[in-house]
């Protein structure tokens, strides 16, 4: 007999590399030692000028892929972000609030903790740190000067040193500015769009700047980069032309001598051309972001003269590539795209310098700058605990995850929840767990014991609206959203960072009829609510500061399943339980609208939920009536799913499916057989191999969440 269980169905501006001395429009690779001593990339930070945030990513040192890791709120119009050479501090230049936000970096998981702000000049554009980590400099466009700071080695805080230094002679017209430091730490170069490129010597003891000779002039200059050996300078011209100039550097004085220029051929208008340029750590290749052509050009660097020679044709990026940077190993190129709100990732052929697309990851609004924090070891993810909600016995079961085998081991007795728990989620750091209880109309809050995984109740359950059916924590870990199925609304809560307790923020936001689930995209920009009775999806923009939802329209619902996202945040998928298919969509980067990828892809018998491995290579669908799992590969460019072999057996009525933090294991709650199935993922093929089941510890396990640690 064909059936659908459930709740209506079962109820259902710039790129800089840390320590490279670049900032603002400079996108500098200057200051990079040879690739062999640069370590590996661990975390990436992207400044989002249009919504006052900084996105956090972890970096896969092997593939170059970026993985969403939340975000923080900065000042007004954060235009650039820089990481100090030690990888312990991040500095965000806020052009709209005339200050710099200072953050401490958690070297284990990349989290940012704000430790204060420091005033700058007017409309600051970029910040650079000398290779020694002792001093920082900010180029101020509005006041046409450079602020000088000493860096506290313990806290990372900035202390102003003397009066700001004029950027050029008083008669020079002010303009967009960027600053770059030579690898030696002895010289600084300031570029103004009016055409002036000024050279300064740096006092290694005091940090003071002294101008060296008269400025050179190259109209429309917006960024300068120094090669790792400190022999050559390359200047990109965004305005009035389409060229990159190359110069030799006097080793004694730091002064620039013109050698020549190369025409990129992508000039479109008086205000759109080359935006930035970066040089690989070996000093062999240069890469230029062409803002007007949505591409990146590759050049070979003549080791004797610094002259650039074009290599191949430009490679497509996102829309309006604002800056380009190279990872510390010289294996990958990153391009921040202003209008498409994303970051493009390319691998570099070490012999030819040519680029091959690896992936693209969504950003927030107005991606202008990316800084990469390096370390000795690559980032690793280790799974810790899994939690299963038991709808029929009003409890949640806890399990430890064997990080080597994926096998689950029960941790203590199930913990009581409210009446009819249906959804569970944990905060991004794995400190708290939240359970939505449908019939008691509340949310249970638990603290997760770090060593054991045991859950401890945090106060009394938080009262919700009628029929809380689905709950999700946003990627920043500051807000939780609860769908109220009986009152046709979604509630917003703030999360206390210390206790995990929830506090309602204003009145609930209206949804469609009988909302079943709420989902949040990996960048934390949009929320999606699936409405069963009105057969549509409500789309909301999330205010980064307040968490408030703003309606962005609706989309037709092709099925009952929750909106689920690819790890890149570029695509969304919805299972159609009655149609035995899964639909794919591209996510509009500005509005959150869902754009169909074409015909749906066949699944097993009555698909109920879908999940993705963190690399974005594979997808898995739990088929609730087929008692099995379908597997797919994912095209990172198009988002299209392709079936991988035959289905894999699960328990009876598999309902919730998820992949652990490490991307090695798949877990499925089986609603009728009252157990949880575990599988190992073949990292090459995506195929699943069963590693057994574990009793759910209760009746009708319906929802699953896992935690882990980043190291």
pLDDT at 10: 36
Residue 222 above 60 pLDDT?
yes
Report the C-alpha gap between 344 and 356 in whole angstroms. 11
Name which of 11-20, 59-68, 590-599 the model is least confident about: 11-20
Note the pLDDT of residue 196.
81
* Secondary structure (3-state) at 10: helix
CATH 2.130.10.10 residue ranges of the chain are 15-375, 558-698
Which one, of 92, 144, 99, 137, lies nearest residue 118 by Cα?
99
User: How buried is residue 502: exposed, middle or buried, by Cβ count under 10 Å (0-12/13-18/19+)?
Assistant: buried
Residue-wise pLDDT tens digits, 480-525:
999 999 999 999 999 999 999 999 999 999 999 999 999 999 999 9
Mean pLDDT value of segment 139-152: 95
pTM of the model: 0.93
- The enclosing H or E element of 554 equals strand 549-556
Look at residues 54, 131, 132, 137 and name the one whose alpha carbon lies nearest to residue 92. 54
Res. 170 pLDDT band, cuts 50 70 90 = very low
Distance (Å, whole) CA 611 – CA 573: 9
The answer to whether residue 7 scores a pLDDT higher than 70 is no
d(CA 676, CA 701): 8
Which H or E element spans position 209?
strand 209-211
What pLDDT shows up at residue 207?
A: 97
Mean pLDDT of 443-472: 96
Which of 169-183, 366-380, 486-500 shows the lowest per-residue confidence on average (mean pLDDT)?
Answer: 169-183
- Return the percentage of the chain with pLDDT > 70, whole number: 91
Task: Give the pLDDT of residue 9.
Answer: 35
Say which residue, 238 or 613, is predicted with more confidence: 613
Using the predicted structure, report yes or no on whether residue 17 has a pLDDT greater than 50: no
Looking at every residue in the chain, the average pLDDT score rounds to: 90
Long-range contacts for 647-652 (Cβ within 8 Å, ≥24 apart)?
Answer: 647/604, 647/623, 648/679, 648/688, 648/690, 649/690, 650/622, 650/623, 650/677, 651/627, 651/675, 651/677, 651/693, 652/627
Average pLDDT over residues 120-143: 96
**Least trusted range by pLDDT, from 140-144, 408-412, 421-425, 615-619:** 140-144
Apex 48 CA angle, 44 and 52, nearest 5? 120
pLDDT at position 34 over 50:
no
Reading the block at residue 273, the tokens are: 């051309």
Which tens digit of pLDDT belongs to each residue from 626-685?
A: 999 999 999 999 999 999 999 999 999 999 999 999 999 999 999 999 999 999 999 999
pLDDT value for 240: 52
What CATH superfamily is the domain 15-375? YVTN repeat-like/Quinoprotein amine dehydrogenase (2.130.10.10)
Predicted local confidence at residue 219, as pLDDT: 58
Contacts for 154 with CB less than 8 Å, ≥ 6 apart:
none
Q: Residue 339: pLDDT above 50?
A: yes
Q: In percent, how much of the chain has pLDDT > 90? A: 83
Ranking 210-219, 552-561, 563-572, 668-677 by mean pLDDT, the lowest is 210-219
Q: Is 7 helix (H, G, I), strand (E, B) or coil?
A: helix
Encoding tokens for residue 334?
């990153």
pLDDT tens, position by position, 238-291: 655 567 889 999 999 999 999 998 876 554 433 445 678 899 999 999 999 888
DSSP structure string for 247-267:
EEE-TTT--EEEEEEEE-S--
Is 461 in a helix, a strand, or coil? coil
pLDDT given at position 24: 34
DSSP 281-302: TTSSEEEEEETTTTEEEEEEEP
* CATH of the structural domain 558-698, one choice from 3.30.300.30, 3.90.1150.10, 2.60.120.10, 2.130.10.10: 2.130.10.10
pLDDT at site 292:
81
């Amino acid at each position: 007999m064909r059936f659908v269980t459930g709740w209506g169905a079962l109820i259902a501006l710039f790129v800089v590399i840390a320590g490279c001395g670049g900032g603002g429009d400079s996108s500098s690779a200057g200051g990079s030692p040879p690739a062999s001593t640069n370590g590996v990339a661990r975390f990436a930070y992207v400044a989002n000028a249009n919504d006052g945030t900084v996105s956090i990513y972890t970096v896969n040192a092997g593939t170059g892929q970026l993985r969403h890791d939340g975000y923080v709120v900065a000042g007004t119009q954060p235009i650039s972000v820089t990481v100090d050479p030690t990888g312990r501090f991040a500095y965000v230049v806020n052009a709209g609030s005339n200050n710099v936000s200072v953050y401490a970096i958690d070297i284990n998981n990349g989290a940012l903790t704000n430790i204060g702000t420091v005033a700058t000049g007017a409309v600051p554009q970029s910040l650079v740190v000398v290779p020694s980590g002792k001093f920082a400099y900010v180029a101020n466009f509005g006041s046409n000067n450079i602020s000088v700071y000493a860096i506290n080695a313990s806290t990372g805080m900035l202390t102003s040193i003397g009066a700001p230094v004029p950027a050029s002679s008083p008669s020079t017209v002010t303009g967009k500015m960027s600053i770059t430091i030579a690898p030696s730490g002895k010289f600084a170069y300031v570029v103004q769009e009016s055409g002036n490129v000024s050279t300064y010597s740096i006092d290694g003891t005091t940090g003071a700047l002294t101008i060296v000779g008269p400025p050179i002039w190259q109209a429309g200059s917006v960024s300068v980069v120094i090669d790792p050996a400190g022999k050559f300078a390359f200047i990109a011209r965004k305005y009035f032309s389409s060229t990159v100039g190359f110069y030799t550097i006097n080793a004694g004085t730091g002064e620039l001598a013109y050698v020549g220029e190369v025409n990129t051929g992508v000039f479109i208008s008086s205000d759109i051309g080359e935006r930035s340029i970066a040089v690989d750590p070996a000093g062999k290749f240069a890469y230029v972001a062409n803002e007007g052509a949505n591409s990146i050009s590759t050049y070979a660097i003549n080791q004797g003269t610094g002259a650039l020679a074009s290599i191949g044709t430009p490679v497509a990026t996102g829309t309006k590539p604002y800056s380009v940077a190279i990872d510390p190993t010289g294996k990958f190129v990153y391009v921040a795209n202003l209008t498409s709100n994303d970051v493009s990732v390319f691998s570099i052929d070490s012999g030819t310098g040519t680029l091959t697309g690896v992936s693209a990851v969504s950003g927030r609004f107005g991606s202008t700058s990316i800084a990469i924090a390096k370390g000795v070891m690559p980032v690793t993810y280790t799974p810790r605990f899994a939690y299963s909600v038991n709808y029929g016995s009003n409890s949640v079961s806890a399990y430890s995850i064997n990080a080597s085998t994926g096998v689950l081991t029960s941790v203590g007795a199930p913990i009581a929840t409210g009446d009819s728990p249906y959804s569970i989620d944990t905060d991004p750091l794995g400190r708290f767990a939240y359970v939505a209880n449908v019939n008691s109309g509340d949310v249970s809050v638990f603290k997760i014991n770090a060593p054991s995984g045991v859950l401890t109740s945090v106060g009394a359950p938080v009262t919700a609206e009628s029929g809380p059916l689905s709950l999700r924590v946003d990627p920043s870990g500051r807000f939780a959203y609860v769908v109220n199925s009986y009152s046709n609304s979604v509630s917003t809560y703030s999360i206390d960072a210390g206790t995990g307790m929830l506090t309602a923020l204003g009145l609930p936001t209206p949804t469609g009829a009988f909302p079943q689930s709420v989902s949040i995209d990996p960048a934390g920009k949009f929320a999606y609510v699936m409405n069963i009775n009105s057969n549509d999806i409500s789309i909301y923009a999330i205010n980064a500061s307040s968490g408030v939802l703003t309606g962005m329209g609706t989309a037709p619902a092709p099925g009952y399943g929750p909106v689920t996202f690819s790890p890149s945040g570029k695509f969304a998928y919805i299972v159609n339980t009655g149609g035995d298919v899964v639909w794919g969509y591209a996510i509009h980067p500005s509005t959150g609208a869902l754009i169909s990828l074409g015909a749906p892809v066949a699944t097993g018998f009555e698909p109920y939920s879908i999940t993705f491995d963190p690399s974005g290579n594979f997808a898995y669908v739990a088929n609730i009536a087929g008692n099995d799992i379908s597997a797919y590969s994912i095209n990172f460019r198009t988002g299209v799913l392709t079936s991988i072999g035959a289905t894999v057996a699960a328990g009876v009525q598999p309902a919730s499916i998820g992949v652990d933090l490490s991307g090695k294991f798949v877990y499925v709650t089986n609603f009728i057989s009252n157990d949880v199935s575990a599988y190992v993922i073949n990292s090459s093929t995506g195929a699943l191999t069963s590693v057994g089941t574990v009793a759910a510890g209760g009746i009708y396990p319906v929802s699953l969440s896992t935690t882990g640690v980043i190291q």
